[in-house]
Amino acid sequence: MKIPEIYANRNIVLSMAGSGNPWDYFIPSSKLTLRALHDGYSLAEIQDLFQITKEELQEKIDLLMDANLLRKENDNYYPTFLIADDKETLETFNHSKIFGRIIADELTKNWEEIKNKFTELEISQNYSIKDLSLALVGSKILDIGLLEALVKDRTLLTPAPKRPSHIRPDAQYYFFMLDGEVEYLGKYGEESRDLPWENWHFFTFGLNIVNVKYNEPRGRIEERCDELLKSTEVKTPDELASKLGIPILSQEDSLVWKELTEKIANRLLLRIKDKEKELLEFFNNLRISKYTNNSLGEFICWYIHIAYSWAIDYLVEEEIISMPAEKFGSLIIYTKGPQGLLVK
């Protein structure tokens, strides 16, 4: 397939937030097909752009329709998720520094309370809050907790859109396509796995990309976890943590931390809502605000991912959050019910 000159030098990056697997639907050039549809090209023009047959184009479209990433209206196809060009991507990335600073400052104000609560946990006998700050604060408060607070509030963010497919009928996620660098998606994120013991989860959190590729040490421990779960080597969450060489929060510790997470996340939410008018004015001046019915929720989900990434960088610089040498943290934790964007 020949890449048209208009797309040849573009760096198109994608990410998702929620539960599902859209990647199985991305055969070669699908993201460019999506981008061309978004840019207003007709099907005939797309065939000419990519030098493909009508049947080849329809195959791509059918896959994307099955994944609920396209909708059809009057014989035209439209992507159902956020797509931002290089100008609006960069504007949003830079604007999010404002809210990153707000989030970092509010977290700093609450740091003594966070430290004190941590000392009440059983795990504090073997680890300091600094040891686990990226996982317990970066992931559970600034990422999952803040998104959950926003979803529950309902004014800026609603639960992730349902995108059922044959492969994942339960899929529910936001999806983003941006022009620019990977960090414009938000450079930190959580990867989690449900464990075979009810309400127990393994997760990693940290830099997604290191040296222009997926964080290799992070990938290795995720693969090791998958290997152990397929074997008969581990019978309990504690055995899994021991085999992986990572911390585990007891059920009691996990529930105490969840309560604190909700409290601090709600305070962060209040600081964001103090600036809600400014944020909405910025959004309404972007082209993407007119794009889909889910535009605001989709935008806020993306924006908060970038903003909390700025906040983590500020907090690491100010030595409140400690960044491990391998740029990620991992933990086994007990959690009841859906979290973050999937909360009801």
Q: What secondary structure letter does DSSP report for 156?
A: S
User: What pLDDT, on a 0 to 100 scale, did the predictor assign at position 235?
Assistant: 94
Instruction: Kindly indicate the confidence band of residue 294, based on its pLDDT and cuts at 50, 70 and 90.
Output: low
Per the CB < 8 A criterion, the answer to whether 325 and 155 are in contact is no
- Domain membership of residue 37 (yes or no) is no
- Domain membership of residue 134 (yes or no) is yes
Averaged confidence pLDDT in the chain: 92
- Domain membership of residue 9 (yes or no) is no
- Domain membership of residue 98 (yes or no) is yes
- Domain membership of residue 232 (yes or no) is yes
Concatenating the DSSP letter of every residue in 239-296 gives HHHHHHT--B--HHHHHHHHHHHHHHHHHHHHHHHHTHHHHHHHHHTSGGGGT-TTHH
Per the CB < 8 A criterion, the answer to whether 329 and 135 are in contact is yes
**215-245 pLDDT per residue, tens:** 999 999 999 999 999 998 899 999 999 999 9
User: What pLDDT, on a 0 to 100 scale, did the predictor assign at position 255?
Assistant: 97
Residue 331 φ/ψ, nearest 5 degrees: -160, 155
- Domain membership of residue 97 (yes or no) is yes
Check whether 1 has a pLDDT greater than 70: no
- Domain membership of residue 7 (yes or no) is no
State how many domains the chain has: 1
**306-339 pLDDT per residue, tens:** 999 999 999 999 999 999 999 999 999 999 877 7
Residues comprising the chain, all counted: 344
For residue 329, count other CB atoms closer than 10 A to its CB: 25
Residue at token pair 């998702």: 16
**165-200 pLDDT per residue, tens:** 888 898 989 898 999 988 999 999 999 999 999 999
- Domain membership of residue 48 (yes or no) is no
Which segments within the chain are labelled E, that is strand? Answer: 12-19, 70-73, 76-79, 82-84, 172-179, 188-194, 200-207, 209-210, 213-214, 328-334
Check whether 148 has a pLDDT greater than 60: yes
Q: How many CA atoms lie within 13 A of 41 on its CB side?
A: 18
**118-141 pLDDT per residue, tens:** 999 999 999 999 999 999 999 999
Parallel, antiparallel or unpaired: strands 172-179 and 70-73: unpaired
CA distance 83 to 39: 10
Q: By residue range, what is the domain housing residue 236?
A: 90-160+189-342
Instruction: Kindly indicate the confidence band of residue 265, based on its pLDDT and cuts at 50, 70 and 90.
Output: very high
In terms of phi and psi (left: phi > 0; alpha: psi -120 to 50; beta: otherwise), the region of 337 is left
For residue 195, count other CB atoms closer than 10 A to its CB: 19
Average pLDDT score over residue span 254-280: 97
